[in-house]
Every structure is written in C-alpha cells, then in structure tokens.
Amino acid sequence: MSLLDSSLWEVIVASFDPEIWKGLVVPIRETLYITAISSVIVLIIGLILGTLLTLTNPDGLFPIRVLYTTSGWFINVLRSLPQMVMIILMVPVARLIFGKSYGTNACIIAIAASCIPMYARIVESSLLEIDKGKIEAAKSIGSTVRQIVFKVIIPETLPSLIRGFTVAVIAVISMTALAGMFGAGGIGDIAVRYGYQRFQHDRLFACVYILVVLVQITQGVGNLISNRMLKKRNLI
C-alpha cells in the first residue's frame, strides 16, 4: 500500500498486517546478526585505539607524540568521510580480505571502518574524564602503567564507557540500513527496496517501527547498566 493512493491512516493500519511481518523475520535476524558482530568489533578495536590515544597523549601515562599525532590524524580522516564514501572505499578492502566485495562480511567491514574511529574518540574522552588525583594515587602506590589502565582507569570510567558504547551501537544500527547495498539483507534493505523503489509504504513503516524499537532497547539497556553501576558505587 502506498501513500500515493491511500491515506496515512490506512497505511498505518496496513503496516500491522501479519503478512508484512512474516516477511520481516529473516531481515530482522540479518540486522541483529550484522549489528552484533559489528558492535563487538567496534567495541574491541575502538577500546584499544581509544586507550592508545589516551596513553600516548603528550600529557598521558606513556607519551609518544608521533603515535598520538598520526593516529589522531588518521582517525580524523576516517571520521570526515560520509558513510556512502566509506562503503565505496571499503569494497576493495573487503575483496582483499574475503575475496569478494559483497555479502555480510563486506558489510561488516564497512560498518566497522565507519564506527570504530567514532567509538575510539568517545573512549578517549571517557578515559580523559578520570580524576587525575586517582592516577596520582595509583602511581604513588607503585602501580605500573598496565595496572593503572586495567585496575584504575577502565574500572573507574566504566559507566561512561558503557554509555559511549550505547551511542556506538546505535550508530551501527543506523548503518545496517546500508547493508542492502552489499546484498547482506536486513531491515534497511527492505525499507529501501519496498519503501523507496516500490512505494510500499506499509512495509517501510513496519521497518521504521523495528528500527525505532531496536534503538530504544539499546539506549534503555545502556542506561540501565550504567545507572546500576553508578548506584552501586553510591555516586547517584
């Protein structure tokens, strides 16, 4: 059903048709799969990059100016690329790694390349939030740099890191809309194919509901975990 020949209300009613939702089961599974894998990759690499950035900062625990400047520059370059451009750039990279430039894996590469730099910056700003006095205390006790990172900085900033990760997962979800371009399927693919190309706005609406719910759940879970942690620590 299309908005071109039906009223908004009719399209909304039609968007709850069980037939439409049956057709969305597989795309939902695809979106969840791509989101989960991409998020884990973003989490791991973003955390490592963000930590490196914080440590090698000239005022950091392990200052290496060259590394700090070049990685900062590299991240900024990646961040300045629009998502579509990133996808086009990642096509040859995916072919290099997986031997083909389409499919779920290629899609995950593009999403990771786009979201890792963002999450790395979020991690950096979370880690920099730590009260310098705590680091001073840890040093005065004789902690090594590694101990300060893993036993002090990361645990102390964990609630903020979790909030940042929530933001990153939501960015990943919004990027899965582009998965269709790689033939990787997903909700976004359905939305574009039926909603845009065939004017089936009832299907488009159904996809929108799902994306909205996914984002709400992500944000809700992120807030819940981080608030629980703050409450346990008696900080709120």
Residues binding other proteins (CB under 8 A)? 131, 133-134, 136-144, 147, 151-152, 155-156, 158, 232-235
Q: Minimum distance from CB of 147 to other proteins (Å)?
A: 5
Q: Minimum distance from CB of 64 to other proteins (Å)?
A: 17
Q: Minimum distance from CB of 124 to other proteins (Å)?
A: 19
* Between 29 and 233, CB nearer to other proteins: 233
Tokens representing 231? 């409450």
Which residues of 157-207 form beta strands (DSSP E)? none
* Between 138 and 214, CB nearer to other proteins: 138
* Between 108 and 161, CB nearer to other proteins: 161
* Between 136 and 223, CB nearer to other proteins: 136
Q: Minimum distance from CB of 163 to other proteins (Å)?
A: 15
* Between 198 and 232, CB nearer to other proteins: 232
Residue type, position 197, single letter: Q
CA distance 201 to 14: 9
Q: Minimum distance from CB of 235 to other proteins (Å)?
A: 5
